[in-house]
Structure 1
Amino acid sequence: MQSLVKLALRHWPSAISALIVVSIVMTPHLLERMFVYFPIRQLDADPSLAGLPFEDVWLRTEDGLRLHGWFVPREGARATLLVLHGNAGNIGHRVAWIEMLRGASAHVLIFDYRGFGRSEGKPFEEGLYRDARAAYGWWEAAHGGSGEKLVLLGESLGGAVATELATRAPVAGLIVQSSFTSARDMARTMLPLGLLQPLAGVRFDSAARISNLRCPKLVIHGDRDEIIPFRLGRRLFELAAPPKDFYVVGGAGHNDLPWVGGAEYVRRIARFLEAL
């Protein structure tokens, strides 16, 4: 995952110059796809590479798209983590992370948004929310009557997608990892003010939603996050309604957080699940 973000950051100055030019002639959705999402279509790995059992999952969105994901079971688990990943790569880049999450005694359901991996379509904000609802619908149909709990785990941009889904679905808990308060707050840290207007329609406004959520929440952030400032993660926690907990991973950046956290990272997630 680190190489994906480094690639995006290396080209960021030229992307800003391009934004000035293309904002004159391009639609908001096209701008959003160019500057917010960095999908990779080719899937180079699956959970079998880590020796994990898994099921290919195919989801159908309310606007008719077919999305691909995996359900990775864990024997004896009483909860499923529905993982909403970040804005780059695809689920194939997250196999090692899936293995760690499964170590928290949870099933893992992870899927690619439209336009990522094997999923159809092209990404845009409302589309990602629809994709998350499709994943929830699959879990509800397949596991909703089993007595298992469903907990959302949103990583980076996926934190905003998970927070939005939590306003609509009766989930047992919400974990937000390395995420931000809103797209506008995030853009202010990366773009000169005059360049915000072309992307003004991109909201991902977790700040406006998390204060109304009553489910238990765990906010996780690395204190050396070089992509999403730590202060935005802390502010998101401050805005969240109780019950809530804030787990600061000392020394962790944006993409190495699970590995810097190591066994303690897994324990904190497991403890959160056990308390639900």
Structure 2
Amino acid sequence: MRMLFSLSIMAAIAYAALAALIFFAQSSLVYYPGSGRNVIETPDDRGLGYESVEIATSDGESLHGWFIPVPAATGTVLFFHGNAGNISHRMDYLLMFHRLGYNTLIFDYRGYGQSSGSPSESGTYLDARAAWRYLTETKEIPSTHVVLFGESLGGAVAAWLAVREKPALLVLASVFTSIPDMAAKIYPFLPVRLLSRFEYSTIDYLRTVTCPVFVAHSPQDDIVPFTHGEALYQAAPEPKQFLRLQGGHNNGFIFMREDWVEALRKFIDANLGAVP
């Protein structure tokens, strides 16, 4: 009995230690800015003309980004990348949007790439607002011609912005419903909903979004469950469309198949300028 009691105490201590680790190390589990500080290439390396931009946030950070213009562009994509890497790792997306005839503004959140500061949930929302202002005020692009495109974590940031502004539409690629929902999947044995210091509740934002929504997700996604994409689609308002991808979280990209690209193009073109 004494040995059993001792083992129980040790197990309880280990459990508490793991819970404490999860609580205090959340930021390093959510963000991977260190994996993408170095810019490995620029649009010029892929034959794309671009402007290097510095965007000031309301709290004094400086965001680095690229604006890739297209002659006689029919729309402009504001791109929100995922939690790892930086803008130089999304070159294939830039090529796709350029080929489809859309300008693109892609930027790094604070603490990523060449942007200043350290990432935080509230900080990424301020970053989104700053990028939006750059497009609609500095570049004077009508909001009804701006497409918000978010991949993974960036989808939550894009959805947050879509609630507060009036974009033409919102595109979510391989996006989770919320951080607590993701944590519950990874650590089902811990009270993660009580421990979580992050929300990024994409599904809650979608319930109050008023613009058209395009959701793309793969049943083979090995990081964000396919059920998250389905739930987001169900929560989104009409008009909306769901695109079933193939492949894992890091290789089921929309630009990898022409029929996927065509589905996205049709939805974007049908809804540009439709928001009053």
Q: Shorter chain as normaliser: what TM range?
A: 0.7 to 0.9
> In 1, Cα distance between the equivalents of 2:97 and 2:156?
19
Residue 54 (str. 1) matches residue 46 (str. 2) = no
Runs of 4+ deviating beyond 6 Å: none
Q: TM-score, normalising length from structure 2?
A: 0.86
Contact 1:153 1:159 in 2 (8 A): yes
Cα gap change, 1:211/1:148 in structure 2, threshold over 3 Å: closer, same or farther? closer
Cα gap change, 1:32/1:198 in structure 2, threshold over 3 Å: closer, same or farther? farther
Q: Larger Cα Rg: Structure 1 or Structure 2?
A: 2
Contact 1:207 1:239 in 2 (8 A): yes
Contact 2:184 2:193 in 1 (8 A): no
2:253 matched to which residue of 1? 258
Within 5 Å, which residues of 2 pair with 1:1-276? 21=17, 24=20, 31-39=25-33, 40-145=36-141, 149-194=145-190, 196=192, 199-249=195-245, 251-258=246-253, 261-276=256-271
- Give me the identity figure in percent: 38
> In 2, Cα distance between the equivalents of 1:259 and 1:197?
32
Gaps of 5+ in 2: 1-13, 272-276
Contact 2:149 2:155 in 1 (8 A): yes
Q: How far 1:260 sits from its partner (Å)?
A: 7.0
1:6 matched to which residue of 2? none
Contact 2:96 2:255 in 1 (8 A): no
Cα gap change, 1:56/1:230 in structure 2, threshold over 3 Å: closer, same or farther? same
Contact 1:85 1:156 in 2 (8 A): yes
What is the identity, as a one-letter code, of the residue corresponding to 1:179? Answer: V
> What per-residue deviation string (whole Å, max 9, x for no partner) do you get for residues 182-230 of structure 1?
1111111112341626751200011111011111110011121111111
> In 2, Cα distance between the equivalents of 1:173 and 1:19?
44
- Equivalenced residue count is 256
SS state at 2:119 partner: coil
How large is the RMSD of aligned CA atoms in angstroms?
2.2
Cα gap change, 1:69/1:239 in structure 2, threshold over 3 Å: closer, same or farther? same
What is the identity, as a one-letter code, of the residue corresponding to 1:182? Answer: S
> In 1, Cα distance between the equivalents of 2:197 and 2:21?
16
Gaps of 5+ in 1: 1-17
Contact 2:254 2:261 in 1 (8 A): no
What is the identity, as a one-letter code, of the residue corresponding to 2:196? Answer: A
Cα gap change, 1:68/1:179 in structure 2, threshold over 3 Å: closer, same or farther? same
Q: TM-score, normalising length from structure 1?
A: 0.86
Cα gap change, 1:140/1:181 in structure 2, threshold over 3 Å: closer, same or farther? same
Contact 2:213 2:240 in 1 (8 A): yes
Cα gap change, 1:25/1:173 in structure 2, threshold over 3 Å: closer, same or farther? closer
Which stretch has the larger CA shift, 238-247 or 188-197?
188-197
